[in-house]
Amino acid sequence: MRPWIEEYFVGPLQMRCSVVTNPENGATIIIDGGDEPERLISWIDDWEGLGPDDSNGPVSHNQSEQEGLPKRHVVAYTNTHAHFDHSGMIPELLKHWKVPFWLHEGDHHLQANAQKSAARWGFTVPPPATPTDEWQDGQTYDFSGITIEVRHAPGHSLGSVCLIIPDDSGPSHAFVGDVLFAGGVGRTDLPDSGGSWPLLKQSIEEKLFTLPDDTIVYPGHGPKTTIGTEKVSNPFVGELAQSFTNVRGRYI
C-alpha cells in the first residue's frame, strides 16, 4: 500500500497536521489535529476550501474520481505529543468525527493542561479532549490497513512518539512531532513538558537515527527532511554535532 499523505500547516504556529489515507479503502487518520478544524473537515469530506499545502495524492475531486479513490472516512486521531498546537482543536474535530484519540501516557498531564499552556502564549483552545487509547513503545498498530510503528522518543515532552508508516513503493514516512527538525531539534525548556536535552539527544540517536537513511521525516514545523540528511548535517545531533549542553530549539 502506498499511503496518500496530505500536509496542512495550521494555526499561528504553522504546525504540520498530516492526513494519511489508505487509497484502497478511504480510511484516514489525522496526525496532530492542532488547528483549523474546519479546513480539514471541508476538504476531507467535500473537497472544498483551501485544502492541503502539500500532497502526494489527488488534489481535486475530479482527479480522485479518475483514480477511482473511495470517499474518505476518518478512523482515528493519532498524536505525536500533546502541546496545544498539536492537539488543541481535537475537541472541534471530535464534534464531526467521533473516533478514538491516541496519545502516549507520558503526555496525559500536558494534554490535561492544554488551556493553561495555550494561555501562556496568548492563545485560546477549548477544554482539552481526553485520550481514549495509549501508544506503547515498539508496538505496531493497524488502522484499517494503515500500519504505524510507534517509537517513544521523550525529551521534548515526556510522551513524545514518532509514528513510522511504511510505503510499498518507496521509503518509509516518519512523523516525528517536535523531536527532530530539518537542521534543528525540539525545545526542552517548555513548562509542564518534562523536557530534557540529554534525553532528547538519546531519543534521536536511538529511536530515529536507527531508521534507514532514506526515511522521509515530517517534523511538526518547517520543511521535510530525511534521516540521512540530519545524520550528516544537523548541528545538534549526528556527525557534525558539537558538544551542546544547553540546547534551545525554536518550536513549541
Question: What residue ranges bind Zn ion (CB under 5 A)?
Answer: 83, 85, 178, 220, 251-252
Q: How near is the Cβ of 214 to Zn ion at its closest, in Å?
A: 25
CB neighbourhood size of 116 (10 A)? 13
The nearer residue to Zn ion, 21 or 111, going by C-beta atoms, is: 111
Q: How near is the Cβ of 220 to Zn ion at its closest, in Å?
A: 4
Q: How near is the Cβ of 74 to Zn ion at its closest, in Å?
A: 22
The nearer residue to Zn ion, 64 or 188, going by C-beta atoms, is: 188
The nearer residue to Zn ion, 72 or 152, going by C-beta atoms, is: 152
Q: How near is the Cβ of 15 to Zn ion at its closest, in Å?
A: 5
Q: How near is the Cβ of 116 to Zn ion at its closest, in Å?
A: 15
The nearer residue to Zn ion, 44 or 190, going by C-beta atoms, is: 190
The nearer residue to Zn ion, 6 or 178, going by C-beta atoms, is: 178
